[in-house]
Structure 1
């Protein structure tokens, strides 16, 4: 087995022209903000890595990806922005206290604009994998502020309607849809599955087929509501497979051929052959980026604090064994990485 390739600074650049399938070079990209942004700390001050790299501003070319923590991403291409599972407020529910025994499902839902606004740009589209709080909590605020349409499940639709997002701003998908948003942006919805614990169960299952009788107010008011993955691509840029949970529907993912895959790290071995089956289904993408491995109830400050239940090293080793040509890129919070 070869030693897993880890890189906290760059995405592996690949040839974008038709028929090109081999890596060209790995290009380091300084951690620089888009106009009006200061990445690295939620208080708007530059973190240590940003201070070290201050200098003339350089707008990166290609498609730029910023990890928003948990499963979330901001994708920028040609002046256009797409957000996936943007959860930036990151309040405490007690999940990481006393081994999870202090978790309180009655924790109120709250969004802090000061933590959200500096990092979302002007999105034209919001994608939501499922309706747990660490994926959907900040979506109503972002949707209201930007007017961007939201793509998600029927449960996501009903929850967001109850949270005052207009119906005309919501797009319901089940998986299998390939949506054209014009100008070369396409989004394929992929039916997926939610992560499971050691007992093969998962948190807050359930779906909604009607607006809930009351406005969701706590994390316990948000059921999973089925889970989606998405494959997103721009003409002239890479395709990215985005997951919000560490399980998948093999027959739904089979045949997808993304350039890079943002894959949730599992917290248990309940899903048989999760990594090798997913890599095979996706055609062994050249770049894998692990997500949902951080302690997501702490501020977005680098260095990232790993979730104690996640074994990032084991995940990386499994990718290397299943797909020796694949490079694993471990991201930092809010740091621009370019690809394509």
Structure 2
């Protein structure tokens, strides 16, 4: 325990890292109504290869630019209408990749990190990988689904947690995680793919396929943990201690002590960024649309983070705004 306390003390004492500037950030919290395009300043070091920026693409999706490299996390830009937010959810909704939305935003990508293979995380990945030549990292299910879409095996890397991938000026540690459960204690579209299936046609053809988290460490820059679902295997978080955590909002209360276990496991990050709080079946326009019940949950999440980890700052992101931690 003393070593953990010392690490957290040294991290908190570092020179003005992740200072969030946003209207209404009193007591380190930006409320949904107050959240504005916000930045977090970091002190450059001699090792830094180039500027690092983080842009939220809604749901759990991110674009991270590190110098001349671009990492995408769960890029879902098509935002098709399944009826999920109107009470008329259609599990047979056709998978429709909107190239008109993707192409202007994805000019390049070197790496794609997939947390799990539900449609709102994976659907656009095969097209993006073919367009950019990016290498796709994900579970064995993601690997087999990639093959089903015609991606070559040389462009797909199956991971399961514990891997530390070295990219030179940054590294990615893969973390075994869990998917959230609905009020019936079930996971939507459960299952894995142990061999390449026929090419998926509907959202039900993309199962959860197990869930991962990713810790990005940038030389001379921040360490950032990405989640794609609101459950946690906290024992897998030991020693990660990221500066920033992208935390999926909990949609049901069936997972016990989700935020307390997650924040403690991550050693109480300096910045907590709520994700997966938006209505991801609407256009990618600010302010991010939030369903009334989800806005209540988001407010409750912000209050809970403030209570559990009072030293953490909460940054409520807006779409496509460049954040620098």
> Counterpart of 1:283?
267
Give the alignment's TM-score, normalised by structure 2: 0.85
Q: How many residue pairs were aligned?
A: 288
1:148 to 124, 131, 134: 134
Which aligned pairs between 1:296-335 and structure 2 lie closer than 5 A?
Answer: 296-310=280-294, 311-335=297-321
**CA shift at 1:327, angstroms?**
0.3
Q: 1:241 aligns with which of 225, 241, 247?
A: 225
SS of the aligned residue for 1:111 comes to coil
The Cα of 1:288 is off from its aligned counterpart by: 0.3
Displacement of 1:169:
0.3
**Deviation (angstroms), 1:21:** 2.8
Relative to structure 1, the CA distance from residue 62 to residue 20 in structure 2 (aligned partners, 3 Å threshold; closer, same or farther) is farther
Whole-angstrom distance in 1 between the partners of 2:92 and 2:80: 13
Matched, 1:208 2:193: yes
Structure 2: segments with no counterpart, 5+ residues: 1-8, 23-35, 38-49
Aligned partners of 1:81 and 1:121 also within 8 Å: no
Q: Please report how far the alpha carbon of residue 200 of structure 1 lies from its aligned counterpart in structure 2 after TM superposition.
A: 1.5
Structure 1, unpaired ranges of 5+: 1-17, 30-48, 51-60
What does residue 112 of structure 2 align with?
126
Q: Which residue of 2 aligns with 1:116?
A: 102
Question: Which secondary structure state, in structure 2, belongs to the residue aligned with residue 141 of structure 1?
Answer: helix
Distance 1:116 1:225 in 2: 24
Distance 2:179 2:277 in 1: 15
Query: For the residues of structure 2 that align with 1:128 and 1:307, how far apart are their CA atoms?
Result: 25
User: 2:20, 2:117 → 1: CA distance?
Assistant: 36
Is the contact made by 2:175 and 2:212 (CA closer than 8 Å) also made in structure 1? yes
State the superposition RMSD in angstroms.
1.8
**1:1-340 maps to which residues of 2 (within 5 A)?**
19-22=10-13, 24=16, 26=19, 28=21, 62-97=51-86, 99=87, 102-181=88-167, 183-212=168-197, 214-310=198-294, 311-339=297-325
